[in-house]
Amino acid sequence: MSKKSTSYPITTAGPSSRTRSATKAGQSTTGSTLSGRPVTTPALNIKSKLTDDLKKLDMSSPFKIWAKYSEGQPAEIIFDRGNVHALKKAIKKELTPDLDKTAVHHIILRKHGDETDLEPDAMVDSSFQNTAKNPLQVIVLEEEHEEQATLKRKYEEDLREIIEKSVENAFSHHKHDIVSVSKLSGAKIAKIMDDLGLLTIELSDEDFRSFELLQCRPFRWDLERDKDQQMPDVERWFKSVLNLPRNTHVKDVHTKVKHQRQLRGANITLTGGGDISVGPSLTPCVWIETKKSVEDFNEGQAFGELLLIDHRHALNSMVVLTDCNDHWIIFFFSKREQQQYLVKCTIGDPGMALAIIRRFVLEESKKITEWPADIDPTANLPALPVHLEKRTKFLERITEAVDDRLAEMIGDMSETELFNMQMRKKLTLLKDWCDLDQQPDVDRLIRQFSDDYENPLPQIYIPKL
């Protein structure tokens, strides 16, 4: 026996009298009845549903998005829906063949005028729609890397060129002559002075007429004996005639003192020393080069010795070339208005020459010896002539051209690289001061501060940065 199915019709009733009265009163009520029972839906729910529908419609509708790559004109991209990663694919397809060999993850998108990269998972919505005047920026990472690589190659080429020039200059400096001052010719001295920018001031006895002459008997050379054999007698003679106070020295050093000085500006290294050393305590400030006759005079030797003693010792320096009789040539450096001068004094009276030497030693002694005012040996002496008052040490001025490209690179150097560069520079200056047999040791120290990253040397000192 079959069962009968019973259907229940669903009827929707019109607004009730209560609803109608509420509507008339201006209330917004939406009502429906199921099986005669009223159901109400708030207006807020309807608005939310419409917003969701619009979003779905927005996400499902195709967009016209303009994108610009490199120097080309903007291109129109028809994009259906998806995220930024999907948009990159669409742009890559549209911009064929320019981006055919570019991986999608190497493509960066930025909105017009914005420096922020769009995230790959960001959803593309109507805010992406634009015009050809404000297109999306399409950037390929390989291009930025290539630009950096190009800049790096340019730096490397510039640095290589600078190094080649520096090495060439270094070799030219290392090809300098090593000359004993006793063999310096007049022509060589003239060239050195030109290279160093030195000018000469020549003085005579008249410029020192205010000095009180020292009384002395001339030294008599034994023409049958070698000069070297007579140097102890020469030493005793100078001690006697100079009559210097205690704590000064007068010594024969002609076989004991050998110095050297590299003149970078003149591309030469001088070697040698004087015969008699005079100065306060054990510090020389005067070298005396003695000759048995005027025919043996070599002014170039005296000038070279002045450069040597001035370089080696702290005090201002003087060199005297003499036969210990009536011929005296005195050299020292003076400075006026930033200009350095070589002062040459030609003196014919031994008493005057010895007075100049004595006064020079006394004035320099005051720099390292403290004398009470009542026993100061210079207290009652006449004023110094202007050039002797302005005596100075000779400073070689080296002007090296600085390549602007190297200055740009310095800004990219690390603190360690800058420290190493400064240490190499200081050690190079030290090399100019040390003896020839010590220079290989300085070279090894310079290599300790190399920037050779592939084959670093063991560091003797690591700066704390």
Three-state secondary structure string covering 361-394: HHHHHCCCCCCCHHHCCCCCCCCCCHHHHCECCC
Q: How many CA atoms lie within 13 A of 300 on its CB side?
A: 17
Beta bridge partners of 77: 65
Cβ contacts of 351 within 8 Å, gap of 6 or more:
213, 214, 215, 216
Which CATH number does the domain 52-175 belong to among 3.30.2350.10, 3.40.710.10, 3.40.50.720, 3.10.20.90? 3.10.20.90
Report the candidate in 287, 286, 285 with the shortest Cα–Cα distance to residue 314. Answer: 285
Burial of residue 20 (CB within 10 Å: 0-12, 13-18, 19+) is exposed
Residue 463, pLDDT score: 44
Residue 412, pLDDT score: 59
- Parse the chain into domains and list their residue ranges: 52-175, 177-389, 400-465
Residue 376, pLDDT score: 80
Tens digits of residue pLDDT in 142-194: 655 556 666 666 766 766 676 666 656 555 555 567 889 999 988 889 999 99
Q: Are 399 and 268 in contact (CB under 8 A)?
A: no
Q: Rg of the Cα trace of the chain?
A: 48
Question: Distance of CA 14 to CAs 42, 136, 247, Å?
Answer: 18, 55, 132
Residue 46, pLDDT score: 58
Residue 151, pLDDT score: 66
- Tracing tokens 């991209």 back to the chain, one arrives at 77
Tens digits of residue pLDDT in 7-52: 444 444 444 444 444 444 444 444 444 444 554 455 556 556 555 5
Which residue ranges in the chain fall short of pLDDT 70? Answer: 1-61, 142-153, 155-156, 158-160, 162-176, 257, 373, 397-414, 432-436, 451-465
Residue 5, pLDDT score: 45
